[in-house]
Structure formats: structure tokens, C-alpha cells
Chains A and B, each alone.
Chain A
């Protein structure tokens, strides 16, 4: 773990690069290089949030920050053009980075697995949120009409 902590910035950068490679190359270039969080919300979020997830992996515990970071990444990928497996596949990119860099030990295996399963839970929650929001939008379109009808019934006109 100490080794990972010492090489944190380098490993996070490689992880970020691999995740961004899941986008078409012409787009990945722009989404990777622009660092302004408002000009490039996807790239900026991944750059920041993957670092938070990595810190958690190395033993730095900030549960709230971890949950928020995982939600940010999964929420974005839940509405993009990915199959569910591709959407949460960014977790496995970390495993590959650690292997490529010679940092992998088998003791990391359960941690990556847990992160992957948690990412899937969050992704699924985002998809459920999406369904709820759609239903609420349908309600919103008719709420006021129903109110008008009910009021008319009340006054008997």
C-alpha cells in the first residue's frame, strides 16, 4: 500500500487515461486535456473522483467523499452510450494499471472486487433514479391540470 501511496499521482493519471480511452479517440483527446471543470465536466469529474477512489483503495478513509466520488462517476456513465458492463468497467481498469506497473499483489483482489460490486450497485441506483425522474416528469405535466379539474369539482362548475 505504501508503494501505491508513493506513486499515487502517476497511477491515478494512468487509470484516468485508461478510463478516458473508453471514449472514441477523437473525443477522448479533448475530454482529457481540458481541465476547467465547467468547460469539461466529464473529464474534470473523472480526474478528481478517480483520485478519491484511489485514495480509498490505499486506505485513506473518507466514506462520504468516497460515496460521492463513486456516485459522480457512475451517474455520468449511467446515461452515456455504454452497456452496463462497460459503464462500471472503469474499476477493472485500475486492476490493469496496477498489473502493468508491477504494483499488483493478490491481496488487492477482494478490494477491487468490492469496488466493482459497489460501482454496480451505484450504477443500478442511477438507472432507477432515471426511471423515477421520468415518471415524475410525466406527473409534472398533468399535476396542474388535475388541480384545475379538482377545483372545478369543488366549486361545482
Chain B
């Protein structure tokens, strides 16, 4: 919502200039620990055949840039302006209306003006203006143009890695400028001179080498899945099938690799396994396409394409009909917004059709890939699975729309449909913090690092603030989400801002509620926490009177 000024407020002009011109780029990395990420290790750079591999850190005075670094950047920018019509448009059409200014979670949490999306974009635009536009060449600073210097480059590094590419700002831009794409180009340019962060490049390198970001080798993937199957048997009494690298299966299932063992992702993995067993899905896991995520998206278009391709190559190798994707975030942005012009047509696959309900997923005609929430919602809609939502009565939940499924693929209703079928206690956060307007976790796009911890806490404040509201108003104690990065980074965020609220995946709740044929009486949920003797939460009717939003307590 834009700030609405009254006439008398518009007349109040603040003549006091800011302490420092926005054109001044100097960043003291030594002073700003906790706000930036470590540089990429040489091994990852070399392995991916990228330029300027060396040991370096942003806090070093000398970043060991190539001698002709400026030339490389200008040539890179020129190529991209020619290649991406959208970039030239985004550089030229912004009128500085300010609609995006207070929409970024990092700006709202930090109060740093350069975290306003318009200002972050201006960091690149100012250089573009000086060297690629006539007005900028002639009039310089008067046109907001500035010279590309080492300090400007360092400032780009600082702020382009303070954008999670969540695209909330783009929802509010009247011109449709996608500031995330400006960040993406900014990061690509930085990468050309060897300015990469390790949390992006090492996972990308791992993925290139082993098929997943975590670098788990095939036998490790198998071990983890077998361990999960054993645990699921302990809980349900049912030994589920574990098809791995099985040629000729109907469906290839791809989940983010954190699901294999990270917590709380792992419990969602148990949920997938229980569901697939129950419906008798003819599917397979792959130890090569063992990663849904694509950290290439956070590096460059080329890297994104390289990592995306393996999923399709593996689908072709295994001769499956279509691909089902798990609870992953940015994987879906790559699939829905970029894959079509990168690795398609995947015409060796078929248009996805649910073998259980017969539903044809027409919208996935091009990518041949369906989101697990769409798939499960269809099962529930067609009454193909039995669910007992009371098994989840020990949780009061809310749902965090993960940025990419919500804004990049429009997956808004399906997750809610599933949650309402498996939970009796679902409470939405305020409207301007969910669905298309959802706030980022503050740690996406490769920024979920330990060294960047304070920035993450700031960036996640608007999300945590809304969680705190439903926690205090409805007693919500679990935040559901469908993104592996969310599942990794929301727990510490909430531990700091809203202690007592935990994080879970939707398919963990599905697994809890799922009544499986031949199962033993469930004594625990998928986390191994006893179902019996747990306090039963009050019903909504017995909840205290709801307070209007303005009066409610929040952070």
C-alpha cells in the first residue's frame, strides 16, 4: 500500500540534505560484518570454468580484479542490453514514482535507503546512464550518472547480494519493472570479473558434479532414502517401496536435496513417501537429478540453464512420462519463467496426467512438470485419499507463501486447499503479507548464510512480524511453507523474533493425516512426537474475541 499524503503534508518540504550523497559508493566491509557473504572459494570457480579464481574476501582492500575489469563489465552490460529487451526497458522506463520504495523486506527491516528497490536498481542505472545514454554522457551527475569505479563495483556487490530476488517490489511497480531481474544482471556482471559468493557457487558446483547442491553422492542419496523408509515403517507399520533410478517409471519425482536429511525438511520427505505408497504411484527417485533447486538462478542465466538441463536429461534417460516436483521454491521460478526458452521443448515427455484421477495438467503442457501441491490437491478434490485432520490437532498453523511458487507461478490456492483438508486449525496472516504480497524469508537467492546473519534477521522482520500477529491472536505455533530455503532459514528467524513457533512442510501434515491401508495405530506424528496425551488446542469458537488489526500486538 502506497503512503497517502494529506495536502498539508505535501507542503512540508524537508530542505535538509541527506548527510551523504547517494552517488557516494564507499562501503566499509570491515565495519559491516554480518551484512555480507563470503567470496567463492577458488575450487568452485575453477570447477565451473568461471573466470578469476582466487582466494579473496570482501573485507580485503584489494579484490584482485582482472586488469581490464572495467572493459569486461561494460562489454558484459552492452551484450546484455542487446540480448535482453527487458533490461533496456527496465533501465529506461523507471520514473522514480516510489511505489516500490517501501515494499522490500530488507528496506523495511534495515531502514537503509539503498535497499529500496528503486535505489538498488539506480546503482546499475547510474552507470548505464553515464556510458550508454546521450543525456548521461553530456550532463553527467545532473542526470544521476556516475563513473564506474572500484568503489561502485564494491557497492554493487554489497547491495546486489542484499536482494533475495523475491519480486515483491515488482508487484507494486506500475511499469512492471522486475527489479529481481536487474539484480540478476548485476550479479552476472559481477561474476564476469570473479565476484561470486561462496554460498551460491559451491552449491552450483556441487550440483554440477553430483546432481545436488549439498554434494551428496548417489550412495548417500540411497542411504538417506532408505533411512527415511525405515523410520516411516516404525511410525506407520508399512514398508514403502523405494524406487530409485528405475527406468520406465511413469513419473520422475524431484525434491530439493535438503529434504533428504535437513530438519524440518526431512519430515516432508516422509510425507511424500507415505503419499506415493498409498496411491500406488508408479514413480522413481533419481540419484542424478537429486536436486530440485537451482542455485544457478542466483548466478547467471547460463548457470541456471546448465543446472536445469540435468532434470530433463535424466527424465529422458529414465524414459519417464512426466516430472513431479516437490516442495521447492526457486525451482518453480526456473521452470515457469525461464525453462521454456532454455531447455525446451521437452517433447520426449508427455503432458502430465494423474494416473490416479485422470486429471490432465494442461498448464504444464510445455514444461511437463507438476507441483506436488497441485497433484495432492487434485487427489483430495477427487476423494482419492483418506485424511484424518484431527491427527494434526496438536498444531495451529499458518501458511507462508514462498515467494517463487506464489509470485512466479501463481500457486496460491492449491496449498491452502491441501492445508484445509489436513488441518482443523489454519489461520491466515494479514492480507498484505501473504499470497502475491507475501514477504520473503529474508534469506533466499543464496543469502541464507551464517556470515550474513544480521542482514537475514532484518530482512525477515516483516515476515516474522505477521507470524507474531497470528501467534498472539490465534495461538499459531507452526508456520507452514513449501520451499527448502524457507524450511532452513525460517526456524532461526522465528526463534529470534517469535520464539515458540516452529516450521513445517505441507506434506508433513499430509503424511500425518493420511490414513494408510494396513497401517498400525499411529502413536506418533512423523517427527516421532506422541499423538496421545498431547494438549488439544481450543477450538476457534472458544478463542478470545478477535482484536482489530490496528490494536493487535505485533513486533
Instruction: Write out the residue numbers on chain B whose beta carbons fall within 8 Å of the beta carbon of A40.
Output: 102, 108
Instruction: Write out the residue numbers on chain B whose beta carbons fall within 8 Å of the beta carbon of A151.
Output: 227, 230
- Least CB distance from A23 to B in Å reads 4
Query: Which of B113, B432, B469, B491 gathers the greatest number of chain A CB atoms within 10 Å?
Result: B113
Instruction: Write out the residue numbers on chain A whose beta carbons fall within 8 Å of the beta carbon of B32.
Output: 81
Instruction: Write out the residue numbers on chain B whose beta carbons fall within 8 Å of the beta carbon of A133.
Output: 492, 495-496
Instruction: Write out the residue numbers on chain A whose beta carbons fall within 8 Å of the beta carbon of B14.
Output: 25, 29
- Least CB distance from A73 to B in Å reads 10
Contact of B465 with A130 in the complex, beta carbons under 8 Å: no
The reply on A105 being an interface residue by CB < 8 A is no
Instruction: Write out the residue numbers on chain B whose beta carbons fall within 8 Å of the beta carbon of A72.
Output: 555
- Least CB distance from A47 to B in Å reads 11
**Contact (A27, B107) CB under 8 Å given A76-B555, A137-B450:** yes
- Least CB distance from B232 to A in Å reads 13
- Least CB distance from B169 to A in Å reads 13
**Contact (A141, B262) CB under 8 Å given A38-B465, A79-B454:** yes
Contact of A24 with B266 in the complex, beta carbons under 8 Å: no
The reply on A115 being an interface residue by CB < 8 A is no
Contact partner of B110 among A75, A81, A137, CB < 8 A? A81
Within 193-210 of B, Cβ neighbours of A (below 8 Å) are at none
Contact of A140 with B491 in the complex, beta carbons under 8 Å: yes
Chain B, 448-475, contact with A by CB distance < 8 Å: what is the 0/1 string? Answer: 0010011001100110011001000000
A138 to B450, CA, bound (A): 8
**Contact (A41, B461) CB under 8 Å given A72-B555, A134-B450:** yes
The reply on B64 being an interface residue by CB < 8 A is no
Interface of chain A, main secondary structure: helix
- Least CB distance from B449 to A in Å reads 10
Contact partner of B113 among A27, A38, A75, A145, CB < 8 A? A27
A112 to B101, CA, bound (A): 36
The reply on A129 being an interface residue by CB < 8 A is yes
Instruction: Write out the residue numbers on chain A whose beta carbons fall within 8 Å of the beta carbon of B111.
Output: 23-24, 27-28, 31, 42, 80
Contact of A38 with B553 in the complex, beta carbons under 8 Å: no
- Least CB distance from B512 to A in Å reads 18
Instruction: Write out the residue numbers on chain B whose beta carbons fall within 8 Å of the beta carbon of A39.
Output: 1, 102, 108, 432
Contact of B550 with A37 in the complex, beta carbons under 8 Å: yes
Contact of A38 with B432 in the complex, beta carbons under 8 Å: yes
Contact of B18 with A25 in the complex, beta carbons under 8 Å: yes
Contact of B454 with A30 in the complex, beta carbons under 8 Å: no
A139 to B136, CA, bound (A): 52
A106 to B515, CA, bound (A): 71
Contact of B457 with A148 in the complex, beta carbons under 8 Å: no
Chain A, 28-58, contact with B by CB distance < 8 Å: what is the 0/1 string? Answer: 1111011011111110110000000000000
- Least CB distance from A124 to B in Å reads 15
Contact of B432 with A36 in the complex, beta carbons under 8 Å: yes
Which 4 A-B residue pairs are closest in the complex by CB-CB distance?
A41-B465, A23-B111, A26-B113, A79-B457
Residues of A within 8 A of B (CB): 23-31, 33-34, 36-42, 44-45, 68, 72, 75-76, 79-81, 129-130, 133-134, 136-138, 140-141, 143-145, 148, 151-152
